[in-house]
Chains A and B, each alone.
Chain A
């Protein structure tokens, strides 16, 4: 009898201990499915693609190791240099123009504008659309046969010509137009939030000291928007490197290869041209580009938060 009692007590102690231990491990247990998914589907896949980039894969993944051969081939391909050059043109213009328009609109909207409540949503709604929708709209609007050029001719401006979307040299700039249309309102919202966070008393003090509006912005407001500039840059740069849908819908990489970007290059080499090794190596380069922007940013953000 006492033996049983002791046993019962012992088991209940064990049970309590187990519950307590469960309580300490439960949170980790609950988090683990998500974390395992991320480890596998993000980091595992990165390793896998990384290996493929050093393999002799063509139509299907294959595991014959060829070292850095694919990267060598990649950087000798004219197709890839076109994609990189286009990314440079597109990325720089996209980031600069979005920032200028976004900052300009935010500053103007911040001047006690009547109707701000109507204007702001108009500037921002493109961000809610799919790039495929944006691409469709701009594709036909910029089409010389039925779009803008045609409209200008009908309005009597016979010599007006705007056929960028059909031109090998200029088509990449139409991608910039459509992308700026889609994202600049969002950049405006980021700057507006920054502007609203600036204490008016500082501005007033400067004004009492005799600063002009221009000086006020140059010397005080814009330097104080530094975090907003940084966020806008990071978001825009990573969107530019990832840009895929818009090009597919707007120009499908053409005319010819004139609007090919790394993302479209990766897709066609991996899945339609049976050069999976080279496709994988281009994906690795894309990841490295994004990581070189995002990792320092996240690192500084998380560290600031800690201190």
Chain B
């Protein structure tokens, strides 16, 4: 009895097991289907998609759609492919993630270890900002970016993503540092260590996991953003998601499904790689974002 205490208490028969496995596998197929469709059809000639079966493996294998999607497809005015937009996204994501993560760490540190009167309200206000529908800030934001001369620039998008990512990064670090023993901080203060020294020497070295969680969360959110990119970017600063949507929904010419699929995979690749490499942290971030306080 005690040896089995880690087992679940449920008893299931052989038939029940078979049913359970079938259901689980059917759902696995459901989740994999769109990815399969994208992959298989991104290496088919266009004729084969139009006449053939979308769920079949390619008969004539070609990487032409990938070359098209990456470097030649017509997006906007120029036949540049998605490459410049991919670069735009990278140039936007890296500073946005770095700045918002750094600020989040500092904020979390202050809100847990240097509490001041009203810290709860400050945190509450920051927390609520995670959930606002961004439609409520679109109009004034467009105006402010114009006033700051940042309209249509990558720097403007970085600013936007830092501001609206702050709530989450602060939340992550606050919850993490909350569990960090305050006695250690007190001891360090008595030894004469100051505010920044404690942060650098005591908290930062043990912040590895939460930094990974926060970076992944921010990277995924900023890379996948569409609304801000579509609202505030110019042709030369558009991120990948906006370019992909322009490619797929452009109504001129023949619909090149294979190029669309290749482009969609290109847009998904960075976040998918992050997910495959560090899925554990990704899930932890999702859960931390969902279970607050």
Stretch at the interface among B90-98, B207-215, B268-276: B268-276
- Whether B226 pairs with A203 at a CB distance below 8 angstroms is no
Q: Which residues from B are CB-within-8-Å of A147?
A: 54
Q: Which residues from A are CB-within-8-Å of B164?
A: 41-42
Q: Which residues from B are CB-within-8-Å of A130?
A: 223-224, 226, 241, 244, 267-268, 271
Q: Any chain B CB within 8 A of the CB of A189?
A: yes
Complex alpha-carbon distance, A238 and B129, angstroms: 13
Q: Any chain A CB within 8 A of the CB of B151?
A: no
Q: Which residues from B are CB-within-8-Å of A227?
A: 291
- Whether B125 pairs with A39 at a CB distance below 8 angstroms is yes
Q: Which of B9, B128, B141, B263 is in CB contact (< 8 Å) with A207?
A: B9
- Whether B286 pairs with A126 at a CB distance below 8 angstroms is no
Q: Any chain B CB within 8 A of the CB of A249?
A: yes
- A265 CB, min distance to chain B CBs, angstroms: 9
Complex alpha-carbon distance, A8 and B245, angstroms: 69
Q: Any chain A CB within 8 A of the CB of B75?
A: no
Q: A-side binding surface: helix, strand, loop or mixed?
A: helix
Closest to A217 in B: B10
Known contacts A38-B166, A298-B127, A124 near B283 by CB under 8 Å: yes
Q: Which residues from A are CB-within-8-Å of B38?
A: 136-137
Known contacts A111-B12, A129-B271, A181 near B30 by CB under 8 Å: yes
- Which B residues between 123 and 146 are near A, CB-CB below 8 angstroms? 124-129, 131-141, 143-144
- B16 CB, min distance to chain A CBs, angstroms: 9
Q: Any chain A CB within 8 A of the CB of B114?
A: yes
Stretch at the interface among A9-17, A138-146, A163-171: A138-146
Type the 1/0 row for A22-35, where 1 means its CB is closer than 8 Å to any CB of B: 01001110110111
Q: What are 29 inter-chain pairs, A to B, with CB distance below 8 A?
A: A27-B110, A27-B116, A28-B116, A30-B195, A31-B110, A34-B103, A34-B126, A38-B163, A41-B163, A42-B137, A43-B125, A45-B137, A123-B31, A128-B220, A130-B241, A138-B34, A141-B37, A186-B286, A190-B290, A200-B9, A203-B10, A232-B290, A238-B131, A242-B134, A249-B226, A271-B138, A287-B133, A301-B293, A304-B293
- Extra A-B contacts (7), CB below 8 Å, given A108-B24, A129-B268: A42-B137, A45-B137, A122-B31, A124-B275, A127-B286, A146-B50, A200-B7
